[in-house]
Structure formats: structure tokens, C-alpha cells
């Protein structure tokens, strides 16, 4: 499936984006390990999160839904999972595979985690190495890529691990493994990353201990308690209509019920530094997370050097930020973002190639990008099967002088089902074929 987007357009109105993908993954996992019935609303019915739900069904967990975003999970307790009859297929879900590796490393049954072609190229050494330090018996393909083969062990042991990179996935993997470890498991981060796992563990009755950049969980058989909560809209999905409204020639947009966890709001800080007119309205707490409505108006943007401390807080939003930078006056410099190299695609290369194809001067750096604001022309962009690359470059047509075509967009459904319909309703002249 390709996107074809006609040039120009006005973005206006109000909308809601799908539920947060990171939270949806974690909700299923912890509800499955809890004792009793958990219910949550706002669940993202995307391919990635559905793969996580299917994995737990294969391990004997009863999951009803999603029905209009509502999911009911009958938890089996920490030690109630059963060996699946075959490999667990995580599709394109890197979050699902890395977190499950931690959760399953301490089970007394073996399991194999597989994925699609894209996921099978993604690096897993970052979780394999510390899990092996905890005593896990894990095999992988050459280069420590999937499939991951987790063999049964008696028990993991807690470790005190310093992350070599800022990664919420690795941190969460080790904290989930810590549920099954003897003693205390601690993780120290070089920079803050999203803390959904910590918030959710507390909601299920297992609070963690935090001392600055170090977070710890105690092992043992303390049960998780079933709970119910609402999952807010995903700020990573909100990034696309948000940037669209900023770069369109005119318009005002209200994006309702978006999660504004402070470990996820780097995109708002970056865009405001570029001159974006963004307001947070109706700020409130919903479930385990802070939530707000985001009002955004068309703005004249200027290039900036993105503060490196904001990079981990906006790591998934850089494809959209890059398109905004291409529409800004002057130069935007992004550094400290080497993590972009190991996402669903090499996003540094994918962004650079896409901007070049549409007439924007850009330099790919080992850990980022140097982007000169300019005029988008029409052209063809390769998404490399990466959902965020596909959605980001669909926005470029708002400022282009000719149509923009984006190839291989089928994976948009992994995080944003209904993207084309929603953006059409707001004024983007986008077609999928």
C-alpha cells in the first residue's frame, strides 16, 4: 500500500488519536500476571499490541476484546502462564519482543519469540546481555537478532545494571525480569526515558524504589493486584496531526485526551523552541498518567539546535520533527539520537533520503541530522516499511509544490489504525492505494 498526497491544504478541527501503544503493551502484560480481573479502556487495536495480546492468549490467559478499545483480562498470577504450543509471533513489535524477553526469561518453561522480516533484523543484544547476567538462558540468531530462544531456568538473580544507552525498552525488560529474580534488580539510566512500566507496576501493587537515575524492584512472590484504568491517546501518534497543523498555511486544531507523561513530552518542548503555538488545555490525571487536550495553531517555525537532553523524551517523534524542521527558517541540528539507527528502519538514513527526494538539503550524521529549511517539491519517498516514516512524509505535501508519494505504508496500522481517514477529515489530501 502506498500513500499519495496532493499539495497544500488547511488543517483544522478536533480529533482523537488512538490509545498509547507503549501503555497498551504493558497493560496486557501486567494484567495477565495479576490476580483477578483487570479492565482498561482506550486500548490501541494496532497490529503490534494485538500481537502481544495473542502471545498471552497462547500462554493460557483469557483476554476479551478489544471492543471499541475496551479489554478485559483474567489474570493468572505471576506463576500461572503455560508453555505455548509453538513460537510466539510478535510481528513488527519491538517493544513487545523486548519486554516479553524479560518477562519470560525467568519462567520454568521454554519459549521462542519470532517476528516479521523487519523485527528479525533489529538488535536484541541490549536485552540479551543483561538478562544473561541475571542467569537467563537465551539463544538468538547470528548478530543477536531474533528469533530469541528462552530456555527454562530455576530462578533469575537480581543485578545492578547501568544502561549503556537511554532505552525504556531495556529498562522495562529488566524490571519485568526482576519480578522473577532473587533479590533486588536495579537499573540506572544515562538519561530519563518513559516511565510507563514504573507507573503501571505501582498501579498493580508493586511500587519501585527510585533514587535519582536509579530505579529498583524487589523480587519475590508478592502478587500483582488486578486493576482498571483508562489508556490515554498516544502522543507519538498525536505528533502527526500536531505537526500538520503547525506547517499548514492556516488552521487551528484541538487534539483531545493525549497522554502528557513528562518522559514523553520532548516533542512539545522542541517544537515550542522552534516557535510553535501550542497550548495544553484541560490538564488532568487519567488512570496512571497525566492527560491534556493539545491546541495547536499554524506557526512560522525557525531552526534550532535540539537540546540533547530532550532527545530521549522525543525519540519516536523525530520523523515528524524532521518534517517540521524542513519547513522552518534556518538550520535544525539533531545530535545524540543514534538510537534512531535501530528502530523499525534506520530512521536517520530514511529521514535523510526522504528529505533529499523532496528537495530539502540535509546531512545525515552518525547520531542525528542537519536539516536546512527550504521548499518541499513533489516526489517519491521510500518508507522502508516504517510506519512513522510513512506518516511523517505524508505531511510534507502540505508545504510541497507537487504531489508526494510514499511507498510501502501498510505498517501504519501497527500504531495508527485509521490514519488516512482521520487526516482526510482534518484536511490532508491523502489517498491510500
The model carries a pTM of 0.93
pLDDT of amino acid 269: 98
pLDDT tens digits, one per residue of 272-329 = 999 999 999 999 998 889 999 999 999 999 999 999 999 999 999 999 999 999 999 9
pLDDT tens digits, one per residue of 358-401 = 999 999 999 999 999 999 999 999 999 999 999 999 999 999 99
Cβ-contact 62, 20 below 8 angstroms: no
3-state DSSP of the chain:
CCEEECCCCCCCEEEECCECHHHHHHHHHHHHHEEEEEEEECCCCCHHHHHHHHHHHHCCCEEEEEECCEEEEEEECCCCCCCCCCCEECCCCHHHHHHHHHHHCCCCCCEEEECCCCHHHCCCHHHHHHHHHCCCEEEEECCCEEEEEEECCCCEECCEEECCCCCHHHHHHHHHHHCCEECEEEEECCCCCCCHHHHHHHHCCCCCEEECCEEEEECCCCCEECCEEECCECHHHHHHHHHHHHHCCCCEEEEEEEECCCCCCHHHHHHHHCCCEEEEEEEEEECCEEEEEEEEECCCCECCECCHHHHHHHHHHHHHHHHHHHCCECEEEECCCHHHHHCCCCHHHHHHHHHHHCCCCEEEECCEEEEECCCECCEEEECCCCHHHHHHHHHHHHHECCCEEEECCHHHHHCCCCHHHHHHHHCCCEEEC
CA angle 253, 399, 370 (to 5 degrees): 105
Note the Cα 170 to chain centre separation in Å: 13
Q: What proportion of the chain, given as a percentage, has pLDDT over 90? A: 94
pLDDT band at 172 (very low <50, low <70, confident <90, very high): very high
Task: Over range 347-357, report the average pLDDT.
Answer: 98
pLDDT tens digits, one per residue of 34-59 = 999 999 999 999 999 999 999 999 99
pLDDT band at 11 (very low <50, low <70, confident <90, very high): very high
pLDDT tens digits, one per residue of 203-234 = 999 999 999 999 999 998 899 999 999 999 99
How distant, in Å, are the alpha carbons of 233, 236, 295 from that of 13?
17, 19, 10
Task: Over range 86-101, report the average pLDDT.
Answer: 96
* Mean pLDDT over the full length of the chain: 96
> Which residues carry out catalysis?
316
pLDDT of amino acid 330: 98
pLDDT band at 252 (very low <50, low <70, confident <90, very high): very high
Paired with 329 in beta bridges are 302
Task: Over range 145-171, report the average pLDDT.
Answer: 95
The C-alpha R_g of the chain, in whole angstroms, comes to 21
pLDDT band at 251 (very low <50, low <70, confident <90, very high): confident
Map out the domains of the chain with their CATH numbers: 3-19+233-432 (3.65.10.10), 21-219 (3.65.10.10)
pLDDT of amino acid 288: 85
Measured on CA atoms in the order 218, 62, 59, 42, is the torsion positive or negative? negative
- The torsion angles phi and psi of 296, rounded to 5 degrees, stand at -135, 140
Cβ-contact 416, 17 below 8 angstroms: yes
Indicate whether 69 pLDDT > 90. yes
Amino acid at each position: 500500500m502506498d500513500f499519495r498526497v496532493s499539495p497544500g491544504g488547511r488543517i483544522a478541527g478536533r480529533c482523537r488519536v488512538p490509545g498509547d501503544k507503549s501503555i497498551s503493551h504493558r497493560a496486557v502484560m501486567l494484567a495477565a500476571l495479576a490476580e483477578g480481573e483487570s479492565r482498561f479502556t482506550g486500548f490501541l487495536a494496532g497490529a503490534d499490541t494485538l500481537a502481544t495480546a495473542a502471545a498471552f492468549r497462547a500462554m493460557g490467559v483469557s483476554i476479551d476484546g478489544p471492543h471499541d478499545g475496551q479489554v478485559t483480562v483474567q489474570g493468572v498470577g505471576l506463576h500461572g502462564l503455560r508453555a505455548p504450543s509453538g513460537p510466539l509471533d510478535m510481528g513488527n513489535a519491538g517493544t513487545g519482543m523486548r519486554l516479553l524477553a524479560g518477562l519470560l526469561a525467568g519462567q520454568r518453561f521454554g519459549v521462542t519469540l519470532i517476528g516479521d522480516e523487519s523485527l528479525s533484523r533489529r538488535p536484541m543484544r541490549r536485552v540479551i546481555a543483561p538478562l544473561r547476567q541475571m542467569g537467563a538462558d537465551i539463544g538468538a540468531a547470528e548478530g543477536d537478532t531474533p528469533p530469541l530462544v528462552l530456555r527454562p531456568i530455576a530462578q533469575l538473580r537480581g543485578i545492578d545494571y547501568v544502561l549503556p544507552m537511554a532505552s525504556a525498552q531495556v529498562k522495562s525488560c529488566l524490571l519485568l525480569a526482576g519480578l522473577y529474580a532473587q533479590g533486588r534488580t536495579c537499573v540506572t539510566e544515562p538519561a530519563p526515558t518513559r516511565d510507563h512500566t514504573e507507573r503501571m507496576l505501582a498501579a498493580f501493587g508493586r511500587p519501585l524504589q527510585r533514587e535519582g537515575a536509579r530505579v529498583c524492584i524487589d523480587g519475590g512472590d508478592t502478587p500483582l493486584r488486578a486493576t482498571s484504568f483508562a489508556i490515554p491517546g498516544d502522543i507519538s501518534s498525536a505528533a502527526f496531526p500536531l505537526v500538520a497543523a503547525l506547517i499548514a498555511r492556516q488552521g487551528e486544531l484541538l487534539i483531545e485526551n493525549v497522554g502528557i507523561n513528562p518522559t514523553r513530552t520532548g516533542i512539545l518542548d522542541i517544537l515550542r523552541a522552534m516557535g510553535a503555538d501550542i497550548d495544553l488545555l484541560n490538564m488532568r490525571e487519567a488512570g496512571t498518567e497525566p492527560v491534556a487536550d493539545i491546541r495547536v495553531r499554524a506557526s512560522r517555525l525557525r531552526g534550532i539546535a535540539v537540546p540533547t537532553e530532550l532527545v530521549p523524551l522525543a525519540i519516536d517523534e523525530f520523523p515528524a520533527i524532521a518534517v517540521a524542521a524542513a519547513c522552518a527558517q534556518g538550520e535544525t541540528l539533531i545530535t545524540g539520537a543514534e538510537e534512531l539507527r535501530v528502530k523499525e528502519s534506520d530512521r536517520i538514513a530514511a529521514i535523510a533520503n526522504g528529505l533529499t527526494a523532496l528537495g530539502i538539503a540535509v546531512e545525515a550524521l552518525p547520531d542525528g541530522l542537519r536539516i536546512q529549511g527550504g521548499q518541499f517539491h513533489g516526489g517519491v519517498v521510500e518508507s522502508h516499511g516504517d510506519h512513522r516514516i510513512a506518516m511523517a512524509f505524508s505531511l510534507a505535501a502540505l508545504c510541497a509544490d507537487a504531489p508526494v508519494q510514499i511507498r510501502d505504508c501498510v505498517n501504519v496500522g501497527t500504531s495508527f489504525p485509521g490514519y488516512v481517514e482521520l487526516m482526510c477529515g482534518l484536511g490532508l489530501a491523502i489517498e491510500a492505494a
